[in-house]
Amino acid sequence: MTDSATTATAPVADWVTIVDLYTDPFPIYRRMREESPVHWVPAVNRYLVTGYDACHTIDNDQETYSADESGSLMKRAVGHSMLRRDDPRHLDERKSYGGVLKPRAIKQHWNQIFDENCRVQLDRLLAIGPGADLVWDFCAPYAAENLRQVMGLVNATNQDLQRWSQAMINGAGNYSDDPLVWAESERAFDEVDTALDEILPLLRRNPDHSLLSQMAASPIAMDSIRANMKMTIAGGINEPRDLLGIAVWGLLTRPEQRALVAADPALYSLVFDEAARWVAPIGMYPRETTRETVLGGIELPRGAHLGVVVGAANRDPSVFENPNTFDITREKKPHQAFGGGTHFCAGAWVARASVADVALPHLFNVIPTLRPHPDRPAREEGWVFRGMTSLPVDWDRSTVPAFPGSPS
């Protein structure tokens, strides 16, 4: 069965380099998308799928496009988590998370904790003062502390989680096979195992609201618990951290958009969605074909390794008008930043609540004159995972009021 009457072999994009993808992939994606929705890219040894419709097809056909990729970098970095499984095994492991990450639990329990954590981290940012790097002095510690408490990793520090997360996502995106990246990733892998071995017996005896408490009571095998908790640490920090940084950058560089949100804070939900579309924090994820097939008119053999480039799909001009522009007023259409189908991101609701409902409103209310630093440029980097890697900011100290209610 094919999806096109006319088929062709994939064009070879031998002009693409990993360095160029990391620096700024969007011109590359535009050129590729204009030629074909699928290319063979020797630099990353896989087919990159850049068209919106083709990516959507993959997300909704796990029988043809398997998440259980052979030779997976993610399996090496975090173990065989549910992200690299198909149903029914994927669904069974996903169900083991229970309701911990779902909207009801967020509303009843986690939102208050996110609010408290935001106040603490904002106080820390204000103490550092103008010239602080918003990514590393606010976004990262805020996301890490939220995840630490949601998971119940009370035997680890905020800094531990940040280090583990970055090391493991670097491993999952190590398409250049850098041995130093693997060494850091493997160190994080082992340290997380040690922390899990310490905390799970305690949570079995003293259950609480946390995700690890839920996992301790589940029938899932220990190897799967380990892999899924490592996957949660990896994505559970980088996704909200990078969405928050990108959303702030979008508003700081589009003053007319910022004015709209200042007049109507309910629009922060649109800011969140537009940031996710504009720069998907998880920009590419792998799939493998289970049979010969045709995708977007391109013939693919059985066992083909694919990269589903949602960072490109979300800027497909056939779907999104002026796709390279951050615009919260654009016509609302479904983006693919959180995946789709059975693999829709389990942490999407936590990311939305912590970023759109808590962090963005607090940040701009407390620092109304927040602006990019005049002398230190911001940096946005990555392609498998993409976000602000530096966001130096400035503000007028005289306009910043005390932030009441911060826990001591």
The answer to whether the CB of 167 falls within 8 A of the CB of 187 is yes
Domain that holds residue 35: 18-399
Is 252 part of a structural domain of the chain? yes
| CA gap 60, 392 in Å, rounded | 40
Mean pLDDT of the chain: 95
Buried b (16+ CB within 10 A) or exposed e, 129-142: ebebbbbbbbbbbb
pLDDT of residue 406: 45
Does the pLDDT of residue 192 top 90, yes or no?
yes
pLDDT confidence tier of residue 407, bands split at 50, 70 and 90:
very low
Give the type of residue at 362: H
Q: How many CB atoms lie within 10 A of CB 15?
A: 12
Does the pLDDT of residue 408 top 60, yes or no?
no
CA 407 to chain centre: 29
Does the pLDDT of residue 197 top 50, yes or no?
yes
Percent of the chain exceeding pLDDT 70 equals: 97
Helix-helix angle 111-128:140-151, to 10 degrees: 150
Is 4 part of a structural domain of the chain? no
pLDDT of residue 340: 83
Is 333 part of a structural domain of the chain? yes
Helix-helix angle 179-205:158-172, to 10 degrees: 130
pLDDT confidence tier of residue 405, bands split at 50, 70 and 90:
very low
* Span 253-267, pLDDT tens digits: 999 999 999 999 999
Is 406 part of a structural domain of the chain? no
Is 12 part of a structural domain of the chain? no
pLDDT of residue 401: 66
- Of residues 45 and 403, the one with the higher pLDDT is 45
pLDDT of residue 5: 61
120: CB partners within 8 A, 6+ apart: 145, 406, 407
Is 8 part of a structural domain of the chain? no
Is 199 part of a structural domain of the chain? yes
- Mean pLDDT throughout 92-113? 94
- Mean pLDDT throughout 350-359? 97
- Mean pLDDT throughout 107-136? 97
pLDDT of residue 339: 87
Is 9 part of a structural domain of the chain? no
pLDDT of residue 194: 98
| CA gap 132, 351 in Å, rounded | 23
Question: Closest by alpha carbon to 294, among 29, 11, 38?
Answer: 38
Number of structural domains found in the chain: 1
* Span 69-96, pLDDT tens digits: 999 999 999 999 999 999 999 999 999 9
pLDDT of residue 4: 47
**The domain spanning residue 301 has which CATH number?**
1.10.630.10
* Span 320-351, pLDDT tens digits: 999 999 999 999 999 999 988 889 899 999 99
The answer to whether the CB of 387 falls within 8 A of the CB of 377 is no
